[in-house]
A and B are shown apart, each in its own frame.
Chain A
């Protein structure tokens, strides 16, 4: 290959780094951080080993240092000084039990740290394949699970602690903002909870499929984008990076930039909708709830709705047809 050809390949083939899975519960934590940083300015973020380390890659680009497994908070302990902005450290539940409990939390309590720790509690040592750990919620015959992190850190003396469901983006933004701006001194811990989506899907999907086959009433949600209201700015993608949220040719021949598009892998985690609301994005996202095995009432209701809506729509179409372009 000539040098020119090498060069042209280098330009068209950019890196393809790994990223959070479709529907990953850790994604919205960093979406929230990105939004908070927009308002309050950049924050020093000390990362840890685990899936959450993908935050350092596009589209988030969040994270300044990583020292080792469970060392998220100790990695930022040198910043426990008088400063006008607090630091945020990240730790997974696996890293927390590995050593973060002592090296991070214990250290912060002992040294009267005034900074913030976000513990990503997804229920497993997820990055390595979903092994159980002390705080796993699942019942385990041979192990003692169900030892909540909140209790452990309470025992160590963490007074300021908040538990937030990661998918509740609005609450996460509020909690992070509070932690960064409260006059209250002392170590602050945010427990960001939601189960690893990969593990959850592995467990739930077969069950759901079975129930659908058995004729049980099931609702499955997923998201979509209306291509005619999407203007191709991709703000949603920059705040998400979900593999299911991708690009599609713009169906409007006048518009040049591709529209956002949700493909069929979407697991309906809801982040797309939350982002739209919290970041005040465009009105293009919709959630579709697909109903399997409807009961009589469902059918009746759908019939009434569909009938009336269809009637109004037909009237509107008729009116539009008076301005038809025919084949032009």
Chain B
């Protein structure tokens, strides 16, 4: 996205105040230094301040720069006193190196109609966003629209991507955008000279600078930001039309074609996208027969949905069940993990992810810690159950293991395990999961006739079921906690939102503090 509002250049006869709102370690210091050197070379008295101790340490921080025209000091025969921190309402240029930090500059009152705001439209998530058990990422459409509304001049595009494209760092792109904003009374060549004279990573910085400059000069009309428009997702294909040609003319294999045909014939088109994904997952997980079982199970819910006039609700129940049922039926076990870890596609992916050069030799070690439980999980019910009772076996599972999938031993071991799929449907875990599944499906079914939205929320309980080992057990525990309360509120009119609240509280922290709070509040209100 590139948003640009009209550009105006600041007078040469006035002081200029610049605030850089950034995260420690993002190169705010380098950027400040460039601005300082440039301004001094152009006849300004200049000063910059920063908060010591946050360099590299990723906290939100401010670098503040004041430029004072030397000729003014000369005529007045007096040196100016330059400030150490920005004053709300008195900042000419605000440079925000990330979108949330742009929001912070608005909150602090640095941006007015006189201000040029230069912001990078990318996200670097804060720890409070990252640490949640669900999706703690903040949605920043309000920052984007307020920034555009409040700033006199607004320049915004993804400078992180630009920096990567240039093989440079974000400070050079920000410097380029500052030049391109025309806010400072210096031409492009003067900016570039500053970079050249700094003598460090000159070529890369000039490339980044050029991208920043050009993007800031372009007066692009803003594109619609997908984040602010959640309706624009591809799942809805109301007519259910398939364009084989657009998909490269690839036809499904004979083993899965009947599944797709069955979906098209007897499932609501609104859910086709998710059902297709579900089928793909389950065929891959266990095979076409298993995927057919998925359709059998799902059919009950899509039929109910149709009966309840699901069209009015955009087929939410069908879509939710298509999603969650597929996830519930593809729980992660050792077999699955081994399978995913040994694939050729995965090998390509990790090479790409760690930025290995073409042909570069890399060795990959997997960090696994299978416990007795997980091993018994994949064994036949009787054997798994028997061994699970032998706690003395635990001594073999005390330590985590490092298995190298790029070496023969490790690879063969895991690819052997991946072949044990046939054991799965007879395994201990399968039985346990099947019981859980049917209890959950029953709850959804029971809820549908009274309260459609509530049924969807019950379906969504699956979202709590994540991970492996303790993490998975916590999911089970939280679900059980919530379901034990369920009878006390399910008749309420607001039952759906109560359940939704409980669920999101359960995903907030692992100690269960938020969930306890929510449960307490509920007990008080329901009595």
A12 and B143: CB pair below 8 A? Answer: yes
CB proximity to A under 8 Å, residues B209-242: 242
A280 on the B face (CB < 8 A):
yes
**Considering only CB atoms and an 8 Å cut-off, how many residues of chain A contact the other chain?**
89
| Closest Cβ–Cβ distance, residue B243 to chain A (whole Å) | 9
- Neighbouring A residues of B273 by C-beta, 8 Å: 253
- Provide the bound-state CA to CA distance between A321 and B253, in Å: 8
A325 and B354: CB pair below 8 A? Answer: no
B253 and A322: CB pair below 8 A? Answer: yes
B332 on the A face (CB < 8 A):
yes
The contact string, 1 if C-beta is below 8 Å from chain A, for chain B 461-474, is: 00100111111000
Q: Choose one: B59, B107, B277; the contact of A6 (CB below 8 Å).
A: B107
| Closest Cβ–Cβ distance, residue A293 to chain B (whole Å) | 10
Considering the complex, give the chain A residue whose CB is closest to the CB of B259: A325
| A12-B343 contact in complex given A276-B400, A289-B363, C-beta closer than 8 Å | no
| Closest Cβ–Cβ distance, residue A290 to chain B (whole Å) | 5
Selecting from A153-161, A179-187, A222-230, the interface stretch reads A222-230
Selecting from A111-119, A141-149, A308-316, the interface stretch reads A308-316
| A316-B253 contact in complex given A13-B103, A17-B127, C-beta closer than 8 Å | no
User: Which residue of B346, B407, B418 has the most chain A CB atoms within 10 A of its CB atom?
Assistant: B346
B361 and A291: CB pair below 8 A? Answer: yes
Considering the complex, give the chain B residue whose CB is closest to the CB of A245: B130
CB proximity to A under 8 Å, residues B447-492: 463, 466-471
Considering the complex, give the chain B residue whose CB is closest to the CB of A7: B142
- Provide the bound-state CA to CA distance between A224 and B363, in Å: 12
- Neighbouring A residues of B471 by C-beta, 8 Å: 231, 233, 235, 281-282
Q: What is the predominant secondary structure among interface residues of chain B facing chain A?
A: mixed
B137 and A234: CB pair below 8 A? Answer: no
CB proximity to B under 8 Å, residues A45-64: 51, 54, 57-59
- Provide the bound-state CA to CA distance between A326 and B491, in Å: 46
A287 on the B face (CB < 8 A):
yes
B344 and A310: CB pair below 8 A? Answer: yes
| A54-B363 contact in complex given A229-B332, A233-B467, C-beta closer than 8 Å | no
Q: Choose one: A254, A286, A324, A327; the contact of B366 (CB below 8 Å).
A: A286
A21 and B337: CB pair below 8 A? Answer: no
Q: Choose one: B58, B255, B342; the contact of A323 (CB below 8 Å).
A: B255
- Provide the bound-state CA to CA distance between A276 and B471, in Å: 12
A216 on the B face (CB < 8 A):
no
- Neighbouring B residues of A9 by C-beta, 8 Å: 103, 106-107, 142-143, 146
A18 on the B face (CB < 8 A):
yes
- Neighbouring B residues of A15 by C-beta, 8 Å: 60, 126, 128
- Provide the bound-state CA to CA distance between A16 and B332, in Å: 34
| Closest Cβ–Cβ distance, residue B161 to chain A (whole Å) | 14
Residues of chain B having any CB pair with chain A under 8 Å: 23-25, 53-54, 56-60, 100-101, 103-104, 106-107, 124-135, 137-140, 142-143, 146, 150, 242, 244, 246-253, 255-256, 260, 273-274, 276-281, 283-284, 287-288, 323, 326-327, 332, 336-337, 340-344, 346-347, 349-350, 353-356, 360-369, 371, 399-400, 402, 405-408, 411-412, 415, 418, 463, 466-471, 510
12 contacts between A and B (CB under 8 A): A12-B139, A12-B140, A13-B107, A16-B100, A234-B132, A246-B130, A282-B467, A287-B364, A290-B362, A291-B361, A323-B283, A326-B253
Return the 3 tightest CB-CB contacts between A and B, nearest first. A327-B247, A277-B400, A18-B59
